[in-house]
Amino acid sequence: MTDATIRPPVAARKPSSATHHGVELSDDYAWLRDPGYPKVENAEILDHLNAENAWFEARMAPHQPLIETLFQEMKGRIKEADSSVPVKDGDWLYWIDFEEGAQYKRWWRKPVAGGDDELILDEVALAEGKEYFRVGAISVSPSGRFIAWSTDTDGSERYTIRFRRLGTGGKALDDAVPGASGKWGDSEVEGTIGNIVWTAAEDAVLYSLSDENWRHRTIKLHRLGSDPAGDVVVYHDPDEAFSCGVDLSAEENWIVIQSGDHETSEVRLVPAADPLAEPILIRGREKGVEYAVDVVGDTVFVHANDSHENFRLATAPIAAPGEWTTLIEGSDAFYLTGFSLFRDFYVVEGRQEGLDTIEVRYYGEHGRIEPIAFPEASYSAGLGNNPEFATDRLRLSYESMVSPATVYDYHVATRGLEVRKVQEIPSGYDSGLYRTERLSIPARDGTAIPVSILYRADRPRDSGGPLYLYGYGAYGIAIPPGFSTARLSLVDRGFAYAIAHIRGGDDLGRAWYKAGKLERRTNAFTDFVDAARGLVDRGYTAAGRIGIAGGSAGGELMGAVINSDPALWGAVVAHVPFVDVLNTMLDASLPLTPGEWPEWGNPIEDAAAFALIRGYSPYDQVRAQDYPPLLVTAGLHDPRVTYWEPAKWVARLRATRTNDAELLLKTNMGAGHGGKSGRFDSLREVAEEYAFILWQLGVPG
């Protein structure tokens, strides 16, 4: 390794500027965006990213023994040869398994009546020789004759669909959408995304097309054996901010076409037996109204926020699908997050005071409600895979911060929970060694912020010891208090592990989400800081002894809080961070930008939104001050947070900060938003993150 490769890379400064609303924005590092994106072929850019990777490797090299120790600990908590609980769907039982040492899973089935196991999809074989591999969707045709699946081999989330005949003598079909070459017509960057839905006749599938700008506004139909270039457009949304997807109704006789952005939706139905029929529009789009539907018989069930922000459940005759009659009123106390329809009953899911709730209800018996009870005071629970419409039991998932993942069957008639599987931890686990709490910490405006925390029972109170704090706070995504075997490697070394349920997520309902978006976006940042200070005040940790982490919009959170309160943090990990918020929202040509304006604001048209975003955008707010140690990750093929955002941010931090704390950038050159794809490769990246935090906080490995 030459001297040049063991020094921190210094990105060239190439001044550029643009003026918006009378304000000049200067950007010395805009050149790091390859003009040919999504292809990245510029030699200077690749050289810089490779130099950053070399610096990362050089600085982490002395800590490889610790990384290996952590990795082996985490791997030892995973049952390598494992399988899921089989799920009945018609005449078949389906399950997945992992072989000892395998990075990827295999998909199986066997007849309910008895017979041999059949391997229907082998991810291990499909991933062989590939740096990155991920299955996007798997769909078996209604009779079980065919399987369709989609794969991504570079992290760009542009999936190719392939097909195979199942059963004795089954073989791969020649069809490939968008094609084995990855091309669609004259374009080399299109693909598919989302679900694959079979027609009733099993002669075709519907899918969502991802265009060259990674926008999915088109639903197409592909007939088996035909040239995909001739696939028929079933629906195309005229709004460039909307995305489309497909699903099947509960009875599998309707294909559901959903279209929407972050605050508005629209749904259409087409018969599964006649997919090219004129779609039935449920109700036309209305800004701010989100809804989802399913169908039983001639009744449409609608989950909508038109009358209450926490959603209601309504019904309508399919002959007049826009005439909604309330079945379950919206409520300030109960956040109705979704519903599932079955032959004899339906299931409502939601959250009450942030706690997951599942209720069985009965058609025509509006007063009969059967909540499913769980054994702990704080947990995460939800419906699992329940493909059969006519069923007398429900597959459920359950876990808490101290309880490993558990699979239940809930017997509806007896209201009893049957344990089908408890996550096995081969190296051993004793839940009695750990404690979990749900704290309430006041934010600076008086709002109570929930914080879930895990620590060892023998960890001294008021110790001021090390603490790992995780946060996200965007898009109405709740962070549940679930179980993780990996985090035990920190907790067993004296850490407390905490999750701040900050505004911007919907942990406490839709109002909680709205209180952290648009003009109130900064609440998410101050909530996180105030939660950390509250943990310090309660003795769980001390300023400078806190390691923090977040990814994507959570990486934006990391960038904001190190600008505002740099001395509070002892180590920071920002995964694929959305930090160049203003420039991204000013560029309508980028894949996600038009659809993101309802979440962040449109700074192109709105001067107030421009000023607000500029005031918190982490890249724009980098200043001359000391910054905490920072590990940043990126994915070269990431379509969600483009690689140049973290690259530019690190370059500006290096040029502007007033100290020399560790500042590392690792770009996965063959992956995208989620990092490496294999189960052990991704686990090693967690080990790298934890090793960095231990190193920077001075905690023995």
Q: What is the DSSP string of 454-518?
A: EEETTSPTT----EEEE----TT--------STTHHHHTTT-EEEEE--BTB-TT-HHHHHTTSG
pLDDT at 180 over 50: no
Give the ranges where 462-592 is alpha helix by DSSP (H): 488-491, 510-514, 522-537, 553-564, 581-585
Share of the chain above pLDDT 70, in %: 98
- At 193, the pLDDT band (50, 70, 90 cuts) reads confident
- At 462, the pLDDT band (50, 70, 90 cuts) reads confident
pLDDT at 187 over 60: no
Query: Do the beta carbons of residue 314 and residue 304 sit within 8 Å?
Result: yes
CATH number at residue 520: 3.40.50.1820
Amino acid at 516: G
Question: What does the alpha-carbon distance between residue 523 and residue 613 come to, in Å, rounded to a whole number?
Answer: 13
Query: Do the beta carbons of residue 456 and residue 433 sit within 8 Å?
Result: yes
pLDDT at 387 over 80: yes
Active site residue 445: no
Greater confidence, 5 or 364?
A: 364
Asked if residue 502 belongs to a domain, the reply is: yes
Asked if residue 390 belongs to a domain, the reply is: no
What does the block give as tokens for 662? 């560790």
Asked if residue 526 belongs to a domain, the reply is: yes
pLDDT digits (tens, 9 = 90+) for 228-270: 989 999 999 999 889 999 999 999 999 999 999 999 999 999 9
Domain extent at residue 495: 429-542
pLDDT digits (tens, 9 = 90+) for 299-327: 999 999 999 999 999 999 999 999 999 99
Distances in Å between the alpha carbon of 690 and those of 76, 470, 496, 572? 16, 13, 13, 11
CB neighbourhood size of 431 (10 A): 13
Strand partners, 245: 258
Residue that the structure tokens 């489309």 belong to: 244
Residue that the structure tokens 């509960």 belong to: 250
CB neighbourhood size of 661 (10 A): 16
Question: What does the alpha-carbon distance between residue 614 and residue 71 come to, in Å, rounded to a whole number?
Answer: 40
Q: Cα-flanking dihedrals φ and ψ of residue 667, to 5°?
A: -105, 120
Asked if residue 473 belongs to a domain, the reply is: yes
| Helix (H) / strand (E) containing 453 | strand 448-456
Burial classification of residue 416, based on how many CB atoms lie within 10 Å of its CB (0-12 exposed, 13-18 middle, 19 or more buried): exposed
Query: 280: Cβ–Cβ under 8 A, 6 or more apart, which residues?
Result: 268, 269, 270, 318, 321
What does the block give as tokens for 442? 């006041």
Query: 113: Cβ–Cβ under 8 A, 6 or more apart, which residues?
Result: 91
Beta strands in 90-242 (DSSP E): 92-98, 106-111, 118-122, 134-140, 146-152, 160-165, 172-177, 191-198, 204-210, 218-223, 232-236
pLDDT at 656 over 80: yes
Helix axes 43-60, 679-697, angle to 10 degrees: 60
The pLDDT of residue 395 is 98
Would you give the distance in Å from CA 410 to the centre of its chain?
27
The verdict on pTM exceeding 0.85 is: yes
Amino acid at 29: Y
489, 501, 673, 677: which is the annotated catalytic residue?
Answer: 673
Query: Do the beta carbons of residue 339 and residue 301 sit within 8 Å?
Result: yes
Q: Cα-flanking dihedrals φ and ψ of residue 563, to 5°?
A: -70, -40
pLDDT at 10 over 60: yes
506, 507, 580, 638: which is the annotated catalytic residue?
Answer: 638
Asked if residue 88 belongs to a domain, the reply is: no
Length of the chain: 701
What does the block give as tokens for 682? 């991704």
Distances in Å between the alpha carbon of 317 and those of 247, 253, 282, 520, 583? 20, 16, 10, 39, 46
Whether omega for the bond prior to residue 86 falls within 30 degrees of 0, making it cis, is no
Active site residue 16: no
pLDDT at 339 over 80: yes
Mean pLDDT of 581-600: 92
CB neighbourhood size of 296 (10 A): 18
pLDDT digits (tens, 9 = 90+) for 41-91: 999 999 999 999 999 999 999 999 999 999 999 999 999 999 999 999 999
The pLDDT of residue 1 is 40
Question: What does the alpha-carbon distance between residue 275 and residue 395 come to, in Å, rounded to a whole number?
Answer: 30
Active site residue 411: no
* 89-103, 160-174, 177-191, 538-552: least confidently modelled range: 177-191
Whether omega for the bond prior to residue 178 falls within 30 degrees of 0, making it cis, is yes
552, 617, 637, 677: which is the annotated catalytic residue?
Answer: 552
Burial classification of residue 281, based on how many CB atoms lie within 10 Å of its CB (0-12 exposed, 13-18 middle, 19 or more buried): middle
Whether omega for the bond prior to residue 371 falls within 30 degrees of 0, making it cis, is no
pLDDT at 344 over 90: yes
Asked if residue 524 belongs to a domain, the reply is: yes
pLDDT averaged over every residue in the chain: 94
Asked if residue 75 belongs to a domain, the reply is: no
The count of domains in the chain is: 1
